[in-house]
Structure formats: C-alpha cells, structure tokens
Amino acid sequence: MRNKFMAIVTVCMLLLVCASGAFAQTLTIGLKGEPTSLDPHFHNVNANNEQAIYVFDKLIRQDERQKLMPGLAVSWSPVSDNVWEVKLREGVTFHDGSPFTAEDVKFTIERIPTVPNSPSSFTAMVNAIKEIEIVDPLTIRFHTEGPSPLLPRNLATFNVVSKKYGEGATTADFNSGKATIGTGPYMLVEWKRGDSIIYKRNDNYWGEKQPWETIIAKPITNDGTRVAALKSGDVDLINFVPPADVAHLSKDARLTLAKSPSTRLIYLHLDSDRDYSPMVTDNDGNKIKNPLKDVRVRKAISKAINRKAIAARIMEGLAVPAAQMVPEGYEGTSKKLKPEAYDPKGAKALLAEAGYPDGFKITIHGPNDRYVNDGDIAQAIAQMLTKVGIRTEVITMPKSVYFGKASKLEFSLMLLGWATDTGEHSNCLSALLHTYDKDKGFGSANRGRYSNPKVDQLLEEALVTVDPKKHNELLIEGVEISLGEVGIVPVHYQVNVWGMTKDLDYKGRTDGYTLPRHISVVK
C-alpha cells in the first residue's frame, strides 16, 4: 500500500517535471474531527459541514475570508422588501448526470426542517422563507415573512441535495452513499466509519478543475497521532496542528505550515444582570451585591487582561488579540474598536472608583477540552485579575458538564468561544448580546444576560433593513455600544494551523475548513 503510494507519488513528480500542469493523483488528509453523518442537513457542526462541501454545493459560497460568492446561484437580489430572486447556474448536473434545477433547491429547503432526530438542524436558516416560487427552472423567488436582509448569508450555510435521491431518503441513506449524490467536486466512494472517507473526482464538475483524482480523508482525533501521521508520511496534510507542535514542525525541512486567523473568538461572559451572582463574594467570603453589574468593574476586568501575553505565551503566537466579535474586515465590524490595552493601574483605579478598592473574590469557570488551551487561558486570566485585586479562583471541567451548567446560569464569570459561521456580526449580536428573549429567539447564548434596549432596537432594525449599507451601519452602532459597555470581554481570535508536505500548497481558511479544491501542488 505504502510502496504503491510512494510509486504513484514518484510517477506524479516525474510527470510534473515533464509537463507542468499535470495533475497529481491521491491526496491523503488527516482531520481532527470525523463527521457524525454525511447527511448534510442532519447535524449543523463543522466536521459535517466541511465534508458536505466535498460532495455538494451551496447556493452561495463563502470564500477563504467568508465573503459571499456565487455557487449554484449566479446572482441574488431583492425584488421587493419581502422577496429575493435567485438566478441559478446553467448546465450544472448531479453526479449521476441528471440536471440541477430550481426543484432541487425547493426540495432542499423543504427537507431541512423535516430531518428526524436532528440534534442541530439548519431550520433557523430557512425559517424566514414563507413561500418558494419557481419562476422557471433556473429562477427561484423566496417570499419572506418580513424584510430579510440576511437571507443570502443564510443560503450560504447549507448544501443543496438532489430531489431525485433525497426524496424519502433517511440519514442512513446518506451515510451509505445511496443518497449522497450531489453537484459537488467529489463523489463519495466509501465511508469506513472511524477510519476514512474516500472520494473520487467528479470530472463533470461545473466549477474549477480539481487537482486531485482521489481524496482520502482520515479522522485522527488524537493530536499527537495526527502530527506523527504527517511526519511519517502516512498523510500529506493535517488540520488543527496543536500549538505546542508548531515550533518543531516548522523546523522540519520536509514540511510546511500554513496559518490563518479564524473567526473563533475566545471571550469572557460576565453575569451583568442579577443582583447577587453565585460565584462572587467579598474578600472574607461573604455574599455581596453583584459587582459585575457595574460597567466600571467590567471595564477594569477587560483592562486587567494582558491579551498580548496570552497570545504570545499561552497560545504560542497562534492568537490575535480581539476587540469585537468578528475579525476586522468582515461585514458589520467597527473600525473604531481596538483591543483593550493592558493597563493594570487603570483597572485598579476603576475598581476603586466603583467602590472596590480592595477588590472582591470571584471564580472563573471554563471548559478544558473545547478550545485551544482553554484551561490555561482561564488560569492566566485568573492570575491577571488577582494582580489588580480581584482574587480569582479557577474551575475548569469537561465540555460535557460545562455547557449545561453555563446555560443554567450557575457561573458568574466564564470563558467561552464563538465562531461566526455566517461571517458577519448580526449573528453574534443576536445570540450573545441581545436581551435574552426566549419567544423571539434572541440571546440564546447570552449567558451573562447583558441587556441594553438601545442595542436590541438597533439589531432588530438591522435585521429588517435590506439596504446593505444601512444594515451595516445599524449593526456597527449596536456592536460599538454593547462592547463599549463590556457586554462581553473579547480575548482573542484563534489562529488555525495546517501542516503539509513541502510539495503542497494550502493557504487555510478563516472558517477552518480543509478544502481539497484549494490544495495545490507546488510547481
């Protein structure tokens, strides 16, 4: 097997030398996560969504920086406040040769809310659509309940399946490959659970020519094993290189690394709503009124955190200090907000001004198996807060225990992460900082229960403003107000690292996906 592979590689190299532009054959990639299913609508989680784009296409694609670009749709525009018209690409066929039409889009959107037992579906992405009108086989109109400026963003989250194969298909039919017939660049050959997923190139693909004939995606969850697999040549490329291995891998002459900032924000949520918070006491251990309600205390906490030190030492350089919820350059990001500078003196002064010259006691909670170095970050923040007088204890726990407790509001100060799949700011604003409102569906991840009616109003207005410029201005104002009041404390964005053999080139993506279409052979 190995020798055969080496032989193939050698032959390919020779071919490359003889005729530049020849395509290599097999790419083996080691991935940290394995999809739970190949049904693209069953479980909205990164590992699944990533594999789905191998086989399927989205109406609207996201580029490496998550800007929208045409996919199966060539254009999308509002015809009125409540109607979006989408023109579909001509001449696209599914893997079996049957043509792609508006019927498939309609089927997909109607299927999404009906997938049984889905632990996390895409229903929220299509909820706004009230009626789907097929104008002609390549034109489709979405009638929405009210103005829906985010519809294109939402259409860029899910993949389109074939009506012919999807009708009546269960999740198991997608896993076995029976219904896994897409329009995408690769066709599923076989999924050996826990071992590998094998794809072969779709030579009739409408999009860019694919550089690889066969893709073997291997899930290797253990970080050390994934790195060893790359070093031993078992795989050609791995994702999520652990920070601790970056230094020694970059010294290896046979390998190259690619780094890309991600949209994964690490932040602190603080209980800024209740009069008494469960994990706050005075220095003697007596219950006190919740100091986190005071914006000066929240500012002091933000100032006490040395983001540069965390990025440099704990994250080994693989983090970018953050000022807001989405990195600069994305839609709805403010140009005014800058990462809070480390200022322990300023923090102490603010605490004294708020009436806590001697500080208080608090416990910071965090997961220890969810984000890169999450436990260590919590420890570091605790030390920094203790330095300015807030005596901070740390409790970390596995994510399986942590998130349930955090949602039940059992914590006062907690370390969390947020990745913006839609690539813009309204999604974070409505989940993290809008007042918690179960009925309207806002604030679902607002575990600090920050609330400001002005922010709510700005966001809600933005969500019905179709004009992109106006929409963005409203969002930016909402972001500036809520982060000005330290509704959350942004810490940093994670930087993702890919490792590959010297002859490969991959730049990485902000959403962390490993997409073969961008992995090329260095000429």
Binding site for another protein (CB under 8 A): 1-2, 34, 36-37, 39, 42-45, 116-121, 123-124, 171-172, 175, 192-196, 218-222, 224-225, 228-229, 231-234, 369, 398-401, 403-405, 407, 418, 421, 427, 430-431, 438-439, 441, 444-445
- Terminal Cα-to-Cα distance of the chain (whole angstroms): 26
Q: 49 vs 472, which CB is nearer to another protein?
A: 49
Q: Minimum Å distance from CB 460 to another protein?
A: 14
Q: Minimum Å distance from CB 234 to another protein?
A: 5
Q: 163 vs 218, which CB is nearer to another protein?
A: 218
Residues paired with residue 496 on neighbouring β-strands, in sequence order: 260
516/215 Cα distance (integer angstroms): 8
Q: 224 vs 317, which CB is nearer to another protein?
A: 224
320/84 Cα distance (integer angstroms): 37
Burial of 386 (0-12, 13-18, 19+ CB in 10 A): middle
Q: Minimum Å distance from CB 372 to another protein?
A: 16
Q: Minimum Å distance from CB 224 to another protein?
A: 6
Q: Minimum Å distance from CB 350 to another protein?
A: 31
Nearest to 152 by CA among 67, 50, 49: 67
23/134 Cα distance (integer angstroms): 40
Q: Minimum Å distance from CB 263 to another protein?
A: 12
Q: Minimum Å distance from CB 217 to another protein?
A: 11
- Work out whether strand 26-31 and strand 237-238 pair parallel, antiparallel, or are unpaired: parallel
Q: 118 vs 306, which CB is nearer to another protein?
A: 118
The answer to whether 124 and 157 are in contact (CB under 8 A) is no
251/247 Cα distance (integer angstroms): 7
422/109 Cα distance (integer angstroms): 18
Q: Minimum Å distance from CB 178 to another protein?
A: 14
Secondary-structure percent of the chain, ordered helix, strand, coil, rounded to 5: 30, 25, 40
Nearest to 163 by CA among 92, 87, 99, 71: 99
Q: 248 vs 470, which CB is nearer to another protein?
A: 248
Cα-Cα-Cα-Cα dihedral sign, residues 144, 145, 147, 149: negative
66/287 Cα distance (integer angstroms): 46
Q: Minimum Å distance from CB 252 to another protein?
A: 10
Q: In the chain, count of helices (H) and strands (E)?
A: 17, 22
Q: 308 vs 370, which CB is nearer to another protein?
A: 370
Q: Using the 8-state DSSP alphabet, how is residue 209 labeled?
A: P
Q: Minimum Å distance from CB 125 to another protein?
A: 10
Phi-psi region of 91 (alpha: psi -120 to 50; beta: other; left: phi over 0): left
H-helix or E-strand spanning residue 104: helix 102-111
Provide the 10 A C-beta neighbour count for residue 108.
22
Q: 355 vs 404, which CB is nearer to another protein?
A: 404
Q: 438 vs 523, which CB is nearer to another protein?
A: 438
Phi, psi of 474 (to 5 degrees): -65, -45
59/72 Cα distance (integer angstroms): 4
Q: 206 vs 436, which CB is nearer to another protein?
A: 436
Q: 20 vs 117, which CB is nearer to another protein?
A: 117
Joined together, the tokens standing for residue 62 give 């996201």
Q: Minimum Å distance from CB 499 to another protein?
A: 13
Q: Minimum Å distance from CB 293 to another protein?
A: 24
| Helix axes 295-304 and 344-353, enclosed angle (nearest 10) | 160
Q: 39 vs 236, which CB is nearer to another protein?
A: 39
Q: 97 vs 194, which CB is nearer to another protein?
A: 194
Joined together, the tokens standing for residue 42 give 């069953």
